[in-house]
Amino acid sequence: ELTLKYGAKHVIMLFIPVTLCMVVVVATIKSVSFYTEKTDQQLIYTPFTENTPSVGRRLLNSVLNTIIMISVIVVMTIFLVVLYKYRCYKFIHGWLILSSLMLLFWFSFMYLGEVFKTYNLAVDYPTVGLIIWNFGAVGMICIHWKGPLQLQQAYLILISALMALVFIKYLPEWSAWVILGAISVYDLVAVLSPKGPLRMLVETAQERNEPIFPALIYSSAMVWTVGMASPMDAQRSEHGSDEEAEQSGGRVEPERRQPRTFPEDDVEEDSEFIRDHVLVGKATATGGDWNTTLTCFVAILI
Partner 1 sequence: MAKYQDSHKFTMNLERLPNEEKLSLCRKYYLGGFAFLPFLWLVNVVWFFREAFVKPAYTEQLQIKTYVKRSALGLLLWVAVLTTWITIFQHFRAEWGEVGDYLSFTIPLGIP
Cβ neighbours of residue 110 under 8 Å, at least 6 residues apart? Answer: none
**Should residue 223 be labelled a site residue for partner 1 when binding is judged by CB under 8 A?**
no
Residue 223 half-sphere exposure toward CB, CA atoms < 13 A: 8
Shortest distance, position 113 Cβ to partner 1, whole Å: 8
* Residue 27 vs 137, nearer CB to partner 1: 137
What is the rounded CA–CA span in Å between residue 204 and residue 11? 24
**Should residue 207 be labelled a site residue for partner 1 when binding is judged by CB under 8 A?**
no
Shortest distance, position 45 Cβ to partner 1, whole Å: 31
CB atoms within 10 A of CB 25: 24
229-268 positions binding partner 1, by CB under 8 A: 230-231
Binding part of the chain for partner 1, among 7-15, 59-67, 149-157, 273-281 by CB under 8 A, reads 149-157
Binding part of the chain for partner 1, among 60-68, 139-147, 175-183, 262-270 by CB under 8 A, reads 139-147
**Should residue 141 be labelled a site residue for partner 1 when binding is judged by CB under 8 A?**
yes
C-alpha distances in Å from residue 293, one per residue of 8, 12, 192, 277, 298: 10, 13, 11, 11, 9
**Should residue 117 be labelled a site residue for partner 1 when binding is judged by CB under 8 A?**
yes
Cβ neighbours of residue 100 under 8 Å, at least 6 residues apart? Answer: 139, 140, 143, 144, 159, 215, 243
Is the Cβ–Cβ distance between 287 and 237 less than 8 Å? Answer: no
Q: Which residue in 77, 38, 53 sits closest to 237, CA to CA?
A: 77
In the list 61, 152, 235, 295, the residue contacting partner 1 (rule: CB under 8 A) is 152
Q: Which residues bind partner 1 (CB under 8 A)?
A: 89, 93, 113, 116-117, 120-128, 130, 133-135, 137-138, 141-142, 145-149, 151-152, 210-211, 214, 219, 221, 230-231
